[in-house]
Amino acid sequence: MEDKVLIRKAKRGDQQSLAVLLHTHYPFLFKYCIKLTMNKYTAEDLTQETMAKAIEKISLYKGEAKFSSWLITIATNVYVDSKRKNSRYQLWRQEQIHQRQMRWQIEYHNEDWNDTMQVLGTLSDNMRIPIILKHYYGYSYADIAEMMNKSEGTIKSRVHNGIEAIRKELKADGRESK
Amino acid sequence: MEENQNRQDVDLKRIEEELVRGLSGLDNSVEEESRGLDWFERYTAHQIQHIKKKQHRDNWLFAFIGLTVLCFVLFTLYSSPKIFILIQIAVFLLILIYGTLSSSRKRGRQL
């Protein structure tokens, strides 16, 4: 069944349609969450929290954006809110642990964990989230601006500054090939 | 100058490619879960029940606060605010007693 039909039914209170809809988008959302958190278990928690929010707010979904984009918007907001609640030191420690675990998991699966990924993990969320949405998911600056509730200019400069920061960091570490 | 710009462009292009490759690696490292829809339906049904309960509670709280404000305004306008505060304390005590009794009865049933 098409997403539009499922959404219409879900908004009318059909629980089965809602379950099918969320089940279909679960892997996509989980993979986005893993890129945000860089940790499997935190990503699972974030995915579930996002799902709960989506169930709660399904009646407010207007259908202007794609359903997957709507889920990304919710997940991003939940993630940013949860980070605001933790102290800076706790966050720094958590991020270090998460990155090490993620690197181990990726190398265990014989996947590529390059220096660029390492530097990406050290960037602030303000830069990292727009970079992931722009360069991996291919969203336009306008879409990202709407998702993150910021102006298009801000998003453009954050993506640019983020990529520039990665370039400088790689250069400083002498890892960039000449 | 132009050469420098070209080199920067090449660098940026390579960073973008490495990012996409690395992030795809992240996706591939996540093993696909083969859990069926049954589990998800149960989970969704549970979540919906939980959210409905919360919304129900919130509605009651909202109604209670609204009524309190309304009554306060009406009593202040047409009578004495003191009477209203006394009534309010009485209502609050009644709710408190009802809550304690019903939760102790629930505990008793569980035992």
A75-107 pLDDT per residue, tens: 999 998 888 776 666 666 667 677 666 766 666
**Confidence check on the interface: ipTM exceeds 0.85, yes or no:** no
Taking chain A, what is the end-to-end CA distance rounded to the nearest angstrom? 52
Neighbours of B102 (CB within 10 A): 10
Same structural domain for residues A56 and A123? no
Whether residue A100 is contained in a domain is answered as no
Both tokens of A65, joined, read: 């954006």
Kindly report, residue by residue over B56-88, the tens digit of the pLDDT: 888 888 888 888 788 777 777 777 777 777 877
How many angstroms separate the CA atoms of A25 and A39, rounded? 19
Residues of B in contact with A16 (CB under 8 A): 41
How many angstroms separate the CA atoms of B108 and B106, rounded? 5
B29-37: long-range contacts (C-beta < 8 A, 24 or more apart)?
A: B29/A105, B29/A106, B29/A108, B29/A109, B29/A111, B30/A30, B30/A31, B30/A34, B30/A40, B32/A27, B33/A27, B37/A19, B37/A20, B37/A23
Both tokens of A173, joined, read: 């570490």
Using CA coordinates, name the residue in chain B closest to A19: B41
Q: What are phi and psi of A104, to 5 degrees?
A: -60, -45
Whether residue A49 is contained in a domain is answered as yes
Question: Residue B80 contacts by C-beta under 8 Å, 6 or more apart in sequence?
Answer: none
How many structural domains compose chain A?
2
Cβ–Cβ below 8 Å for A108 and B29? yes
Question: Residue A86 contacts by C-beta under 8 Å, 6 or more apart in sequence?
Answer: A94
Q: How many CB pairs under 8 A join A and B?
A: 94
Using CA coordinates, name the residue in chain B closest to A99: B26
We report the CATH number of the domain holding residue A30 as 1.10.1740.10
Residue with the two structure tokens 């569980």: B110
Cβ–Cβ below 8 Å for A120 and B12? no
Kindly report, residue by residue over B12-26, the tens digit of the pLDDT: 888 888 888 888 887
Same structural domain for residues A66 and A124? no
Widest pairwise Cα distance in chain A: 59
Among the listed residues A145, A147, A103, the one whose alpha carbon sits nearest the alpha carbon of residue A122? A103
Same structural domain for residues A1 and A82? yes
What's the predicted TM-score (pTM) here?
0.67
Q: Which residues of A touch B (CB under 8 A)?
A: 15-16, 18-20, 22-23, 26-27, 30-31, 34-35, 40, 51-52, 55-56, 102, 105-106, 108-109, 111-117, 120, 131-132, 135-136, 163, 166-167, 170, 176
- The CA-CA-CA angle for residues A65, A70, A71, to 5°, reads 150
Same structural domain for residues A172 and A128? yes
Residues of B in contact with A31 (CB under 8 A): 26-27, 30
Same structural domain for residues A75 and A4? yes
CB-CB: which of A115, A135, A176 is closest to B16? A135
Whether residue A105 is contained in a domain is answered as no
Cβ–Cβ below 8 Å for A114 and B32? no
> What is the domain extent for residue A82?
1-86
Kindly report, residue by residue over A103-143, the tens digit of the pLDDT: 666 666 666 677 888 888 888 888 999 999 998 999 999 99
Q: What's residue A111's pLDDT?
A: 67
- Last-in-domain residue among A71, A86, A101: A86
Same structural domain for residues A57 and A137? no
Task: Tell how far CA A15 is from the center of its chain.
Answer: 26
Same structural domain for residues A76 and A131? no
Q: What percent of chain B has pLDDT over 90?
A: 0
B6 interfaces chain A, CB cutoff of 8 Å: no
